[in-house]
């Protein structure tokens, strides 16, 4: 039986697996196109104060209700800088995650200066223009108008236009891709690590995509296995703060002095943070409907500040259900670091949304 967490085997698997890329290329946009961004958030008082304190925005209107009432507000509203960041953030995955120069933002308009903590926001963008780049043939230039709405009332809260250089698909496919694997994928032969001779990736994020990919591997020396494009570098907040806010007081997450003589030589990440990063990468490439359960979770190596965590997924099983909205998929997820070493593995079963919804 193949040990997928063996370092050499896993490295071979990574070399052969397709990466499910995130973000959009220049060719994906058309003038007049409207994009509803799936992500959105609830504007919280805590995040608002964290933003203001870390950016030295100490205007008492946004901190104290008496100061707010003195200038005509009922209470302290959300700071406009945090509101702007909260509207722009959800747009990144669909618009600019592929990279490219941020050429500018214009016409930032605060439509409601009294936005209160607890407001849920919805974000929408419209492609205003796209054009060729005379200086960078590998890129095009796209301008969007983005608006944040109160999700409950539909009222517009803030809008702006921004312009980015966006990579073209063809140059990325040739210049940015990995070299084609040799021998095992080209010839269909199984390599000496025991990995399947063929890797299959789903064509999309819906249940039918996972089911069809899994069916294509039936009775063949093949596996549905793919890597996720995003990575997350562990910083002090990830390693020390997140455990403490869950009341996890284990010394190995925040006491460098105690950990100096340990095998890692420094504080290490809480395993559930590493796990959550891996699952977050995976969920970004699927239409998760509901989580069902997890199993066989193992932590294979230390994760410390500065390590970058990536995700790799195998599909173990799919099962249709009587539910018209979702089908069941069982995954095996791996987290691995910048040295391609597995640091976490575990199984997960979830309901994945069907395409007809």
Per-residue model confidence as pLDDT tens digits over 128-151? 999 988 888 899 999 999 999 999
In a domain, 191, yes or no: no
- The angle that helices 80-88 and 45-54 make with each other, rounded to 10 degrees, is 110
Q: What is the pLDDT of residue 171?
A: 60
Q: For residue 82, what pLDDT band results from cuts at 50, 70 and 90?
A: very high
Is a pLDDT exceeding 70 seen at residue 175?
no
The better pLDDT of the pair 185, 109 is held by: 109
**CATH code for position 116:** 3.10.129.10
In a domain, 179, yes or no: no
Domain count of the chain?
A: 2
In a domain, 93, yes or no: yes
Give me the DSSP letters along 80-133: HHHHHHHHHGGGHHHHTTT---EEEEEEEEES-TTPPTT-BEEEEEEEEEEEE-
In a domain, 2, yes or no: no
Query: Rg of the chain over CA atoms, in angstroms?
Result: 23
Q: What is the pLDDT of residue 249?
A: 75
3-class state of residue 15 by DSSP: helix
In a domain, 206, yes or no: yes
Picking from 150, 167, 184, the residue at the C-terminal end of a domain is 167
Q: How far apart are the C-alpha atoms of 191 and 194, rounded to whole Å? A: 6
Is a pLDDT exceeding 90 seen at residue 14?
yes
Do 66 and 211 lie in a common domain? Answer: no
Do 223 and 159 lie in a common domain? Answer: no
Do 285 and 231 lie in a common domain? Answer: yes
Picking from 144, 167, 190, the residue at the C-terminal end of a domain is 167
Is a pLDDT exceeding 60 seen at residue 185?
no
Do 71 and 121 lie in a common domain? Answer: yes
In a domain, 173, yes or no: no
Is a pLDDT exceeding 90 seen at residue 22?
no
Do 204 and 136 lie in a common domain? Answer: no
Q: What is the pLDDT of residue 215?
A: 96
Do 49 and 13 lie in a common domain? Answer: no
Q: For residue 184, what pLDDT band results from cuts at 50, 70 and 90?
A: very low
Is a pLDDT exceeding 60 seen at residue 46?
yes
Of 315, 294, 307, nearest to 341 (Cα)? 307
Give the H/E segment covering residue 215: helix 207-216
Query: Average pLDDT in the 92-121 region?
Result: 90
Give me the DSSP letters along 12-64: HHHHHSEEE--S--GGG--TT-EEEES---B--HHHHHHHHHHTT---GGGT-
Is a pLDDT exceeding 60 seen at residue 80?
yes
Do 158 and 300 lie in a common domain? Answer: no
Q: How far apart are the C-alpha atoms of 70 and 64, rounded to whole Å? A: 10
In a domain, 180, yes or no: no
Q: What is the pLDDT of residue 316?
A: 97
Q: Dig out the tokens for 211 from the structure.
A: 């089911």
The fraction of the chain above a pLDDT of 70, given in percent, is 93
Do 35 and 97 lie in a common domain? Answer: yes
Whole-number average pLDDT of the chain: 88
Do 288 and 310 lie in a common domain? Answer: yes
The fraction of the chain above a pLDDT of 90, given in percent, is 64
What is the DSSP secondary structure assignment for residue 24, as one 8-state letter?
A: -
Do 205 and 302 lie in a common domain? Answer: yes
204-228 tens-digit pLDDT = 999 999 999 999 999 999 999 999 9
Picking from 167, 187, 210, the residue at the C-terminal end of a domain is 167
**Which 3-state string (H, E, C) describes 251-278?**
HHHCCHHHHCCCCCCCCECCHHHHHHHH
| Residue 41 CB contacts under 8 Å (≥ 6 apart), including other chains | 86, 89, 90, 120, 121
Do 150 and 211 lie in a common domain? Answer: no
Q: What is the Cα 258 distance to its own chain's centre?
A: 33
Do 34 and 155 lie in a common domain? Answer: yes
26-44 tens-digit pLDDT = 999 999 999 999 878 899 9
In a domain, 187, yes or no: no
pTM for the full predicted model:
0.78
295: containing domain: 7-21+198-353
């Amino acid at each position: 039986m193949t040990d997928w967490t063996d370092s050499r085997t896993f490295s071979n698997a990574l070399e052969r697996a397709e990466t499910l890329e995130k973000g959009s290329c220049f060719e994906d946009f058309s003038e007049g196109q409207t994009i509803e961004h799936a992500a959105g958030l609830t504007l919280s008082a805590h995040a608002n104060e964290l933003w203001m304190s870390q950016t030295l925005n100490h205007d008492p209107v946004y901190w104290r209700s008496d100061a707010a009432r003195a200038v005509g507000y009922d209470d302290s509203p959300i700071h406009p800088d945090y509101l702007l960041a909260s509207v722009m953030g959800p747009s990144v995955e669909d618009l600019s995650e592929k990279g490219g120069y941020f050429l500018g933002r214009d016409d930032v308009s605060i439509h409601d200066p009294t936005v209160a903590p607890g407001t849920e926001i919805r974000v929408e963008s419209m492609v205003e223009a796209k054009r060729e780049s005379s200086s960078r043939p590998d890129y095009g230039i796209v301008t969007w108008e983005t608006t944040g709405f109160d999700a409950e009332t539909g009222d517009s809260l803030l809008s702006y236009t921004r312009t980015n250089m966006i990579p073209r698909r063809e140059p990325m496919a040739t210049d940015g891709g990995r070299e084609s694997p040799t021998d095992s994928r080209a010839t269909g032969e199984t390599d000496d690590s025991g990995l399947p001779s063929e890797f299959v990736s789903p064509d999309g994020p819906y249940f039918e995509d996972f089911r069809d990919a899994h069916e294509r591997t039936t009775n063949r020396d093949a596996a549905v296995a793919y890597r996720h494009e995003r990575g997350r570098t562990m910083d002090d907040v990830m390693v020390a703060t997140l455990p403490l806010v869950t009341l996890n007081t284990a010394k190995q997450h925040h006491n460098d002095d105690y950990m100096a003589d340990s095998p890692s030589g420094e504080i290490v990440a809480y395993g559930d943070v590493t796990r959550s990063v891996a699952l977050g990468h995976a969920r970004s490439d699927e239409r998760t409907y509901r989580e069902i359960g997890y199993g066989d979770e193992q932590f294979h190596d230390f994760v410390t500040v500065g390590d970058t965590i990536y995700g790799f997924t195998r599909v173990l099983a799919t099962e249709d259900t009587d539910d018209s909205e979702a089908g069941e998929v069982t995954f095996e997820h791996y987290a691995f670091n910048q040295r391609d070493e597995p640091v976490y593995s575990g199984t997960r079963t979830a309901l994945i949304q069907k395409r007809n919804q």
